[in-house]
A and B are shown apart, each in its own frame.
Chain A
């Protein structure tokens, strides 16, 4: 197993380099050079040229890319912000904990809520509660998260005054944003878990278990659940990506100082290094989460585990 993990970690290196290249290329498409972005196009030509040299913009594309990656690897440096002239990494590290906390919180809430309600709903298929679950899940899954956030903000902050409406000073500040993010994704997970569970209980091996004399409870918990959760687990990784993306938008709703507000401000200011750094930072994090989920998957599904142990290729 450890051999597999090492293998996957090694495979992550070219992938992450690829991600860096992708992000670098996309953002290099931004029109304008650092000098004219910072000083404005009306500034003196020499000043602009001097700044461009300072940012290394006079170098060819690939040289700039290798310098960028080299700085990240050897100096843990994501470049200098055009707007603040401070290291990008400092701004990111100051904001990142909020976003991470928000994403992890909402991930946990939605996984617990979505999976448990999905099982509940499947076990009671066709009951009133099942129908309620389906309808509620459908509505939440179709809802724009930020709108849900605004509605909850009106209700809980403005009307009831129960929770703060902006900032990130205490855990209480995270309740509304986390709910905003987790309710729609919990709804998605509910639908998926329910469908997967219903598909699983139709399998032949469930009939084998019942023919052995296993009770309905035992059939569900011991035989169906683990198999039903396999497809759910695979979506948890991309679910975290959705959480990160959702966090970016939710931060705007709740005026929370995080990566999202950092990025939107940077995009408005054409602060290319900041956008690039933030995107790359989150992408690397996401890549590691996907890896973790893949490895976790191997632990629940013996077939995959064996494939790995035999030195086979991972994700096929």
Chain B
């Protein structure tokens, strides 16, 4: 095993996930691949319903049992396929090695347990060092202070905290076991703008301190620019463009959807928070178009796009899934 593979903490290969009900099949994720190294932060960007959260849940093995099916691909965490793990193995993985910050702090905390109990639970569940109750308590207090909450508040209930403070509690729950991979699912969407920056800075600081790898799910390109090393742009369950932060924000070649997201491609120094509208809506995930999923909304759509699924163009790790690019990186005309 060479060095490169070794520090590759997460590798997703050709992952497809469908939600099946008696009425319809939702094609949530359609053959995505990416990998993440130790200490790296990857941004997963896309509109609501692009399959970002589904991907995250698949990494944790938390997909809805009855309806969700992984139809192809693998999710390798430290070389082991998460999709093939038993429930018991998954439980040992969750919270200890991989943990997740959820979008809405108002609903992500159990209303009848104190925040201390909720943070301590992860430690209690993964108590390999056999910490005593007192030691767990101390660790909970440390973690609370780490996320900027006074330790005395550990015996308070979630309703006594504001949205931003609750999100800190959620982060404390996610980080208390020092996980190797942290999935942050739109951690700032539900928060005030002023709080957003605080929370993001905090996640980044903690990540640097512990060398945690992070998957940052968001639809805010500003967040990506501030926090990520790599970026995957998701559309209708596919990663349509994937590359380093520089590839996505400054490179010359882009997927039309990415261009649409930025309006025009700005440089890193410019303010890129504003999203220019892209005409139309994301396709119905139960009836995806035959060719390129983005074709119906694409301003540069060609005949081939309507019938034929585009392949992946790649240059130095920068990948684009679009017919406009040929093998040698030239724009087709």
- Whether the complex brings A and B within 8 Å at their CB atoms is answered yes
Please give the distance in Å from B110's CB to the nearest CB on chain A.
4
A214 cross-chain contacts in B, Cβ below 8 A: 91, 95, 121, 125
Q: Does B131 contact A (CB under 8 A)?
A: no
Q: Kindly identify which residue among B95, B107, B113, B160 contacts A211, using a CB–CB cutoff of 8 Å.
A: B95
**1/0 per residue B57-87: CB within 8 Å of A?**
0001010001000000000000000000001
A210 touches B62 (CB 8 A): yes
A211 touches B100 (CB 8 A): yes
B94 touches A211 (CB 8 A): yes
CA distance A126 to B65 in the complex (A): 13
A211 touches B159 (CB 8 A): no
CA distance A195 to B107 in the complex (A): 19
Which residues from chain A sit less than 8 Å from chain B, CB to CB?
A: 126, 203-205, 207-216, 218, 222-223, 226-227, 300-303, 306
B126 touches A227 (CB 8 A): no
**1/0 per residue B87-102: CB within 8 Å of A?**
1101111111001101
Given A302-B159, A306-B157, A212 contacting B94 (CB threshold 8 A): yes
B107 touches A204 (CB 8 A): yes
A223 cross-chain contacts in B, Cβ below 8 A: 110, 113
B112 touches A301 (CB 8 A): yes
CA distance A117 to B110 in the complex (A): 24
Name B106-143 residues within 8 Å CB distance of A.
107-114, 118, 121-122, 125-126
B110 touches A209 (CB 8 A): yes
20 A/B residue pairs, CB under 8 Å, sorted by A: A205-B107, A205-B111, A207-B62, A208-B102, A208-B109, A211-B95, A211-B100, A212-B95, A213-B93, A213-B96, A213-B126, A214-B125, A215-B91, A216-B87, A218-B125, A223-B110, A300-B112, A302-B111, A302-B157, A306-B157
Q: Does B173 contact A (CB under 8 A)?
A: yes
A126 cross-chain contacts in B, Cβ below 8 A: 66
Please give the distance in Å from A172's CB to the nearest CB on chain B.
41
A227 touches B121 (CB 8 A): no
Q: Kindly identify which residue among B87, B110, B160 contacts A205, using a CB–CB cutoff of 8 Å.
A: B110
A226 cross-chain contacts in B, Cβ below 8 A: 112
Please give the distance in Å from B266's CB to the nearest CB on chain A.
35
Q: Kindly identify which residue among B66, B110, B157 contacts A208, using a CB–CB cutoff of 8 Å.
A: B110
Given A213-B96, A306-B157, A306-B160, A208 contacting B91 (CB threshold 8 A): no
B112 touches A204 (CB 8 A): no
Knowing that A211-B60, A211-B174, A303-B157 are A-B contacts, what are 5 other residue pairs whose CB atoms are under 8 Å apart, sorted by A's residue number? Answer: A210-B62, A214-B125, A227-B110, A303-B159, A306-B159
Q: Does B170 contact A (CB under 8 A)?
A: yes
A302 touches B102 (CB 8 A): no
Q: Does B104 contact A (CB under 8 A)?
A: yes
B110 cross-chain contacts in A, Cβ below 8 A: 205, 208-209, 223, 227
Please give the distance in Å from A61's CB to the nearest CB on chain B.
49
A210 cross-chain contacts in B, Cβ below 8 A: 62, 94
A208 touches B160 (CB 8 A): no
- Please name the residue on chain B nearest to A214 by beta carbon: B125
Please give the distance in Å from B122's CB to the nearest CB on chain A.
4
Please give the distance in Å from A47's CB to the nearest CB on chain B.
66
CA distance A20 to B267 in the complex (A): 78
B94 touches A205 (CB 8 A): no
A306 cross-chain contacts in B, Cβ below 8 A: 157, 159-160
CA distance A106 to B24 in the complex (A): 46
A227 touches B94 (CB 8 A): no
- Please name the residue on chain B nearest to A301 by beta carbon: B112
Please give the distance in Å from A52's CB to the nearest CB on chain B.
59
B170 touches A208 (CB 8 A): yes
Please give the distance in Å from B154's CB to the nearest CB on chain A.
14
CA distance A213 to B170 in the complex (A): 14
- Please name the residue on chain A nearest to B60 by beta carbon: A211
Interface centre among A203, A211, A218, A223 (most CB of B within 10 A): A211
A212 touches B108 (CB 8 A): no
Please give the distance in Å from A93's CB to the nearest CB on chain B.
41
Please give the distance in Å from A262's CB to the nearest CB on chain B.
43
B107 cross-chain contacts in A, Cβ below 8 A: 203-205
Going nearest first, the 9 A-B pairs with the smallest beta carbon separation are: A213-B95, A212-B95, A213-B94, A204-B107, A205-B110, A302-B157, A212-B122, A211-B100, A213-B91
B112 touches A208 (CB 8 A): no
B126 cross-chain contacts in A, Cβ below 8 A: 213
Name B208-258 residues within 8 Å CB distance of A.
none
B157 cross-chain contacts in A, Cβ below 8 A: 302-303, 306
Please give the distance in Å from A249's CB to the nearest CB on chain B.
37
CA distance A214 to B108 in the complex (A): 15
B174 cross-chain contacts in A, Cβ below 8 A: 211
CA distance A279 to B209 in the complex (A): 70
CA distance A209 to B121 in the complex (A): 9
CA distance A268 to B112 in the complex (A): 51
A227 touches B102 (CB 8 A): no
B111 cross-chain contacts in A, Cβ below 8 A: 205, 227, 301-303
Interface centre among A205, A214, A215 (most CB of B within 10 A): A205
B60 cross-chain contacts in A, Cβ below 8 A: 211
A216 cross-chain contacts in B, Cβ below 8 A: 87
Given A204-B102, A207-B62, A207-B102, A212 contacting B121 (CB threshold 8 A): yes
A227 cross-chain contacts in B, Cβ below 8 A: 110-112
Name B154-192 residues within 8 Å CB distance of A.
157, 159-160, 170, 173-174
CA distance A203 to B170 in the complex (A): 15
